Amino acid sequence: MWACGGWAKAIFLINKELHEYDSIENYKDLLEYIKNKSPKRGKTYLFVDEVQEIEQVERAFTSLPARGGYDIYCTGSNAGLLSGELATRLSGRYLPYLIHLDLTDEIVYDYLRNIYDTVLLKDVVARHNIRKVAFLERLVSYSADNIGCLISAKRISDFLKSQRINISPNVVLDYLSFLSAAYFLFKVPRAEIIGKKVFAVGEKYYFEDLGLRHVITGYRQTDINKVLENLVFMHLKMSGYEVAVGQLRDKEIDFVAKRGGEKIYLQVAYLLPDQKAKEREFGNLLLIKDNYSKMVISMDELVGQKYQGIEQIHIREFLSKTI
């Protein structure tokens, strides 16, 4: 412990593998230990290793910061570290740290991988007592590969059966719902443009954070259209729109976005290099005979273009505007 300008600072390292810390068996013992050694004024830095060996330690970790003046760091080697009350009580008690790191691929991907592992273990596996963890990870990988594609639980189940993995469609649906509840994925239903029917099967899933998606699959140039769709979807969500995939007979509209009395129809494409591509993307929108706004979003550098009255917007412009 040292003092500076009347304010003291203390650093404590508690390693439960060492016998001198055997007396710290529960959160009360920990609080008493810290209380007796911490300065009355100033900052205390607490490092606890093998934290799972301290009973109800999460109660200490929520009590100490509430008093102010504490920075706490804990590690452990038990998978139970991120389960139960510890995970629940500490949920959300962290700050994004990426801005403090060197933005190299190696460092950034390592940081994002740790976030991915933590979210999956804490908010999905531990919270829902999932035992088929390997399958959950395969399902996340499948979702990352199939951004913007209709996903059917039965199709996934049938595919797994062909690989001699017996997972029922209900389990697939449960796991997808757990990932959605953790805001890891967003589920986007299909809905008829003419009429009010919402289809019970076959929806799309998008990632809340594309950085986490890239940790799973890596960034691939061939996935650019999927990435653009995900970006457009998240911009719509952050702008307060309710989003669905539009179904018009046998045609599909990428997004139908509603907010109050507003409605927007959107198609997303990487590039529209020729007349055939334009007819495909604009053609679906032209089949919709109402007067709501319609647009095609792409990475073509031509700006302010229209095709039979429908606007084509560059992705940069779309993401930078308030809609």
Res 89 pLDDT > 60 = no
Helix or strand holding residue 286 (H, E): helix 275-286
Place 312 in a pLDDT band, splitting at 50, 70 and 90. Answer: very high
Domain edge (last residue) among 33, 67, 94 = 94
Per-residue burial over 33-51, b if 16 or more Cβ lie within 10 Å, else e, is bbeeebeeebebebebbbb
- Is residue 100 in some structural domain? no
Q: What is the pLDDT of residues 102-113, one digit of tens each?
A: 778 888 888 888
* Residues 281/309, Cβ–Cβ less than 8 Å: no
Asked if residue 24 is part of any domain, the answer here is yes
pLDDT tops 90 at residue 228: yes
Longest Cα–Cα distance of the chain, Å, equals 79
Residue 57, exposed/middle/buried by CB under 10 A (0-12, 13-18, 19+)? Answer: buried
Q: Which of 49, 70, 94 is the last residue of a domain?
A: 94
Contacts of 21 (CB under 8 A, 6+ apart): 14, 15
Average pLDDT, the chain: 86
Range of the domain at 79: 2-94
Query: Is the pTM value of this prediction over 0.95?
Result: no
How many domains does the structure of the chain reveal? 2
The answer on pLDDT for 158 being more than 80 is yes
* In a domain? residue 99: no
CB burial of 11-32 (b: ≥16 within 10 Å; e: otherwise) equals eeebebeeeebeebeebebbbe
pLDDT tens-digit map of 244-290: 999 998 999 999 999 999 999 999 999 999 999 999 999 999 999 99
Q: Which tokens go with 145?
A: 């590969």
Q: What's the pLDDT tens digit per position in 167-185?
A: 999 999 999 999 999 889 9
Give yes or no: residues 44 and 113 share one domain.
Answer: no
Same domain, 190 and 316: yes
pLDDT of residue 81: 53
Res 82 pLDDT > 50: no
Q: Are residues 115 and 86 in the same domain?
A: no
Question: Does the pLDDT of residue 194 top 80, yes or no?
Answer: yes
Half-sphere exposure of 146 (CA within 13 A, CB side): 17
Does pLDDT of 5 surpass 50?
no
Whether residue 179 sits in one domain with residue 315: yes
Q: Domain ends where: 32, 66, 94?
A: 94
CB 188 within 8 A of CB 242: no
Mean pLDDT of 203-216: 94
- pLDDT class for 85, splitting at 50, 70, 90? low
User: Which of the pair, 93 or 24, is modelled with greater confidence?
Assistant: 24
Overall average pLDDT of the 163-170 stretch: 88
Burial class (CB in 10 A: 0-12, 13-18, 19+), 96: exposed
Tens digits of per-residue pLDDT, 59-77? 888 777 666 678 888 877 5
* Pair 177, 276 in one domain: yes
Q: Partners of 7 in the beta sheet? A: 4
